[in-house]
């Protein structure tokens, strides 16, 4: 798919407003007990970002601990295989802990320490945010508790052990579907109870303000690096940029630097699951509607009575009923288009990238790769396609083998 790219009426850095709104989306839909802590967090965040000492420390940790900058990689053999556009990957999979999630985890952990919070909680689906949070907590000497649905613990068992190795307590959640939504619920309950000494590091660009803003800002380094590297390597900007979208952290981190380049098409790829039918997918823009979930107004998979519908994806990190409010806003603006990839398409892309480029992508990332391969075939050989390789797939090998009925 290709999106229209009208000029933006509002400067991207002017959003969100003081109450966290991106147009009609976002906001602060939380219990009264959290309003004061959220205002305090917002004030502390803005103060930190104005402090040169905080920025210097953040950059040092991103460089020395996380491993930034990451490579811009020309996928030569995949380009030949697809026979169309030149395919480039932003290699966030090469970061410490294996995904882009470490960018935000470092930023929020440093902020929590600055605020005097010694206890960190987080939710995780695929485990990549969980291991990133556990790792930086170990580095900073902070107590760490991770909430994770029991179904996700089963299919991401490698990351569960990694989190525990880093000293985190992993608390399984047995309610509901036992996946990411339920993990967020339990983390929110913990935070409401322990907010005075605990900071909640939300892992995606969703939830109440200021979290979508903070997560976006800590991930903007992805797109800023990629835009600069693309100009250095090719002398031009890409024709299209794509990334998988669950909550949307890796996507908004990559897209933000290109929002004011109308010649660059931006595409988010959601989880199409088994098929686009109720309870069979997690593509919010293919069956969702406007609603409020876990602190923010956005597009949500829900029934006529406002009850959250069951979701499904082969990838734990995309298996979530809501999308980040900033994505909903830019979809309305016509600036970001959205498609989806099915489980089968993602699994095929997972195998293709392994066999053609020798890169094992996360199953979340594989959804974006599936779209990348499809779209590149439709483009000319002088055009450039940039995709975010947001995470590596070591964590998914066992689950992929099970789903594909292949022996380990």
Q: Hey, which residues are catalytic here?
A: 101, 123, 390
Looking at the chain, how many residues does it have?
408
Kind plus residue range of the DSSP H or E element containing 137: helix 128-140
Alpha-carbon distance of 294 to 311, in angstroms, equals 16
307: helix, strand or coil: coil
User: What whole-number distance in Å separates Cα of residue 49 and Cα of residue 172?
Assistant: 34
Q: Taking the CA of residue 150 as centre, how many other CA atoms within 13 Å lie in the half-sphere pointing to its CB?
A: 7
Q: Distance between CA 250 and CA 391 in Å, rounded?
A: 9
Task: Give whole-number Cα distances, 73 to 55, 94, 219, 390, in Å.
Answer: 28, 11, 19, 13
* The CA-based dihedral angle spanning residues 396, 398, 401, 406, taken in that order and rounded to the nearest 10 degrees: 160
Which residue in the block uniquely carries the two structure tokens 């991770």?
146
Q: What H or E segment, with its residue span, contains residue 150?
A: helix 150-155
Two tokens at 254?
């990559």
What DSSP character marks residue 383?
-
Buried-state track 320-344, b at ≥16 Cβ within 10 A, e below 16:
bbbbbbbbbbbbebebbbbbbbbbe
Residue 50: count of CB within 10 angstroms of its CB: 9
* Burial group, residue 118, by CB count within 10 angstroms (0-12, 13-18, 19+): middle
- How far is Cα 227 from Cα 257, in angstroms, rounded to an integer? 7
| Nearest one of 195, 143, 230, 156 to 398, comparing CA atoms | 156
Structure tokens at 171: 């608390």
Nearest-angstrom CA–CA distance, 327 and 142:
32
């Amino acid at each position: 798919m290709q999106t229209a790219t009208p000029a933006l009426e509002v400067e991207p850095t002017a959003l969100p407003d003081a109450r966290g709104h991106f147009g009609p989306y976002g906001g602060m839909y939380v219990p009264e007990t959290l309003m004061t802590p959220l205002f305090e967090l917002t004030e502390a965040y803005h103060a930190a970002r104005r402090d040169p000492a905080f920025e210097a420390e953040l950059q040092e940790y991103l460089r020395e601990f996380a491993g930034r900058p990451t490579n811009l990689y020309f996928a030569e053999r995949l380009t030949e295989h697809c026979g169309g556009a030149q395919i480039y990957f932003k290699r966030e999979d090469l970061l410490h802990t294996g995904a882009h999630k470490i960018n935000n985890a470092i930023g929020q952990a440093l902020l929590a320490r600055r605020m005097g919070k010694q206890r960190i909680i987080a939710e995780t689906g695929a485990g990549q945010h969980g291991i990133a949070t556990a790792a930086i907590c170990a580095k900073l000497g902070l107590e760490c508790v991770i909430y994770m649905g029991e179904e996700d613990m089963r299919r991401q068992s490698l990351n569960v052990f990694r989190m525990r190795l880093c000293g985190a307590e992993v608390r399984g959640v047995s309610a509901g579907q036992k996946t990411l939504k339920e993990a967020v619920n339990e983390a929110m309950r913990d935070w409401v109870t322990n907010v005075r000494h605990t900071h909640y590091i939300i892992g995606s660009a969703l939830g109440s303000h200021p979290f979508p803003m903070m997560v976006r800002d800590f991930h903007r380094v992805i797109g800023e690096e990629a835009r600069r590297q693309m100009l250095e390597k090719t002398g031009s900007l890409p024709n299209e940029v794509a990334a998988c979208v669950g909550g949307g952290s890796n996507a908004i981190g990559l897209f933000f630097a290109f929002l004011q380049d109308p010649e660059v098409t931006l595409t988010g790829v959601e989880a199409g699951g088994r098929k686009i039918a109720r309870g069979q997918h997690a593509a919010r823009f293919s069956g969702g509607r406007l609603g409020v979930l876990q602190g923010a107004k956005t597009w949500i998979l829900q029934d006529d009575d406002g009850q959250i519908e069951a979701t499904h994806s082969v990838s734990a990190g995309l298996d979530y009923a809501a999308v980040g409010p900033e994505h909903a806003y830019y979809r309305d603006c016509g600036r970001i288009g959205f498609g989806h990839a099915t489980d089968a398409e993602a699994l095929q892309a997972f195998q293709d990238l392994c066999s053609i480029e020798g890169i094992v992508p996360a199953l979340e990332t594989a959804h974006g790769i599936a779209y990348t391969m499809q779209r590149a075939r439709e483009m000319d050989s002088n055009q450039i396609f940039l995709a975010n390789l947001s995470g590596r797939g070591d964590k998914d090998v066992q689950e992929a083998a099970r789903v594909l009925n292949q022996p380990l």
